[in-house]
Amino acid sequence: MNIVVLLKQTPDTESVIRIAGDGKSIVTDGLKWIINPYDEFALEAALRLKDKLKGKVSVVSYGPPRVVEALRTALAMGADDAVLIDDPVLKTADYLRVTKALTAAIKELNPDLIFTGSRAIDYDQGQRGAIVAENLDWPHLALAVAVDCDGSVVTIERPIEGGKVILESPLPALVTFGGAHAIWNPRYASLPGIMKAKKKPIAMKKVTDLGFDPANFEPETARIRITSLEKPAERKQGRIINGDLDVVGKAAELVRSLHEEAKVI
């Protein structure tokens, strides 16, 4: 069983995000970077399946050299090898072209299964898994919170309102993971795992290594562009109902405020 996990490195959820001067990107100086949590769920699911089926787990990502840290973390957790597409042209390319490069790197690994998060916590586009599945013409099983495989068929559980739905597909297939930390509870990298990770291979790729012309990744060729970034509007300060009123008076004042001021009832 050969499983590929697509990882993205994202800012830590506790980072203070500042919009850069161009109004279209964020300030990266001083940020702490982590594996996108939903991709970490996918990695944990892949490692559990590897333990069951005695297969191999490879991780694939893209970005600048700092992404090596995320890949080393994945290797320390138990992945076997990694691929990083480290090419400056991807910095300004749209996600349609980024996923083409990722798809080409994945094809070289000849996987039976591809696991990835259903979304990334930075731009939250939720497109990566669906586009890669389309590029490969593979089935896409989305928003898994449980997964199993017998070597020829993959089965997932996906939550729906009021219950769950069970989906299955013959291999090869791509699975995206939603869920929560409590379901997957990603393992910590052990000290022996960290030491072994230093010796595991990370293949560095350029788009030319994957058969692409860099000119096709220039900003002018993008079909999707970020035109601006804006912070959410600040919330108005909360209001406290007059503490001098009794319970009945406070309730009446609350109802009046919700009806006449907030206009929600």
| 21, part of any domain | yes
pLDDT the model gives residue 62: 96
What range defines the domain where residue 120 resides?
2-221
| 226, part of any domain | no
Helix orientation angle between 95-109 and 128-136, rounded to the nearest 10 degrees: 60
Same domain membership, residue 128 and residue 30: yes
Same domain membership, residue 151 and residue 245: no
Q: b/e for 1-24, b at 16 or more Cβ within 10 A?
A: bbbbbbbbbbbeeeeeeeeeeeee
Same domain membership, residue 241 and residue 203: no
CA gap 89, 92 in Å, rounded:
6
pLDDT the model gives residue 265: 86
Same domain membership, residue 254 and residue 181: no
CB 118 within 8 A of CB 152: no
The encoded tokens of residue 192 equal 């022996």
Q: b/e for 117-128, b at 16 or more Cβ within 10 A?
A: bbbbbeeeebbb
Among 42-51, 152-161, 234-243, whose mean pLDDT is lowest? Answer: 234-243
Q: Which residues contact 63 (CB under 8 A, 6 or more apart)?
A: 8, 9, 84, 85, 86, 90
Number of domains composing the chain: 2
pLDDT, mean of residues 55-68: 95
CA gap 4, 41 in Å, rounded:
13
Q: For position 69, which CATH number holds?
A: 3.40.50.620
Same domain membership, residue 115 and residue 239: no
pLDDT in tens, 161-214: 889 999 999 999 999 998 766 677 888 888 888 998 989 999 999 999 999 999
The amino acid at 264: V
Same domain membership, residue 261 and residue 180: no
Same domain membership, residue 148 and residue 75: yes
pLDDT in tens, 93-141: 888 999 999 999 999 999 999 999 999 988 888 889 999 999 999 999 9
Model confidence at 1: pLDDT above 70: yes
- Does this model's pTM top 0.75? yes
Between CA 147 and CA 121, with CA 83 as vertex, the angle to 5 degrees is 60
CA gap 155, 195 in Å, rounded:
34
pLDDT in tens, 9-61: 999 988 888 999 988 888 988 889 999 999 999 999 999 999 999 889 999 99
| 181, part of any domain | yes
Same domain membership, residue 249 and residue 212: no
| 38, part of any domain | yes
Strands 9-11 and 33-35: antiparallel
